Amino acid sequence: MKIKMKPALAALTLTVVTMAGTVSAANAPDDRWRFGVIVPIWAAGIDGDMTIRGRQADVDIGFDDLKDHLDASFSLGLEARRDRFGLYAAVGYMKFTADDTLLAGIEAEAELKFLIAEAGASYRLVHIGVERPFILEALGGVRYWAIDNDLEITGPGGTKLFDGGDEKDLIDPIVGLRASQFLTHKLHLDFQGDVGGFGISDDTSDFAWSAAGLVSYDVARWFTLSAGYKALAVEAESGSGTSERGVDIIMHGLLLAAKFTF
């Protein structure tokens, strides 16, 4: 059964809608600890499909649709660096609600709440150049998702045709690279990509990846503004028949971020 609910917020069941864990590699080497706070805004849309209790929904949601159903949102990233070594952590929370008319007399209501936390370490592999350096780092860590999702479909007279929900915790290992190429003393291009999940247990996704490209400007030593594009994909499924559930989607959109360093 195809559920063509335009908001289709249930499709976010296993998806991260925060960029809080992404930071640049552009900090110059330093023999003392430096700390950063990242405040991200990601205007993402969604493409793909999802399945709840054997019922599949096509997903094609623009950012304009999502923002109209956003009830609450918070995300924040933190980092600590000393010379080649770095630590990072992030947390994000979002809540969506939506209702829609599928057919005459048939209504659907969806609610999604989730919390994501991420932590890991980075290590500088390459630092070439002085005036316009190129910096490359390796990173590794874990990403924790706590998801609470509900979908209800009612017919004429309030008869329930479908009433289902899902609560899920996932802990994905992630590995990746990030790099910065300075164009001037203050302007640099930042890139980051990672893969994770690998289906190593029932508590991980089958596979997930993310990639981002940003143009950043160091307004001051303590303040950086960034703008660019972010894509994140996740694939996970379990069960069969009426107990089947899963998601195979890509989120992508404009990313803005402000970073404070001290």
Give the CATH number for residue 228: 2.40.128.100
Q: Cα–Cα distance between 137 and 180 in angstroms, integer?
A: 9
Instruction: Compute CA distances 140 → 30, 122, 130, 213, 222, whole Å.
Output: 21, 7, 27, 19, 26
Q: Does the residue 145 lie in any domain?
A: yes
**Cα–Cα distance between 117 and 137 in angstroms, integer?**
21
User: Which residues are paired to 137 by β-bridges?
Assistant: 124, 178
Element (H, E) at 63: helix 63-68
What pLDDT, on a 0 to 100 scale, did the predictor assign at position 53? 62
Report if residue 150 sits inside a domain. Answer: yes
Query: What's the confidence (pLDDT) of residue 23?
Result: 65
Taking the model in full, what pTM does it have? 0.79
- Please check whether residue 101 lies inside any domain of the structure: yes
Q: Does a structural domain hold residue 1? A: no
Domain of residue 62 covers 9-261
Mean pLDDT (10-residue bins), the chain, 262 residues:
42 42 65 91 79 66 76 87 93 78 73 82 95 95 80 77 71 94 96 91 84 96 95 78 72 91 92
What per-residue confidence (pLDDT) applies to 122? 96
What is the structure's pLDDT at 185? 92
Q: Is residue 3 part of a domain?
A: no
Q: Which residues pair with 181 in a beta bridge?
A: 134, 189
- Whether 4 maps to a domain, the answer reads no
Supply the pLDDT for residue 11.
43
Closest by CA to 27, choosing from 137, 110, 106, is: 137
pLDDT of res. 12: 44
Predicted confidence at residue 5, as pLDDT, reads 43
Evaluate whether residue 68 is within a structural domain: yes
> Which residues, other chains included, contact 201 with Cβ-Cβ below 8 Å and sequence gap of 6+?
none
Please report whether residue 41 resides in a domain.
yes
**For the chain, how many structural domains are there in total?**
1
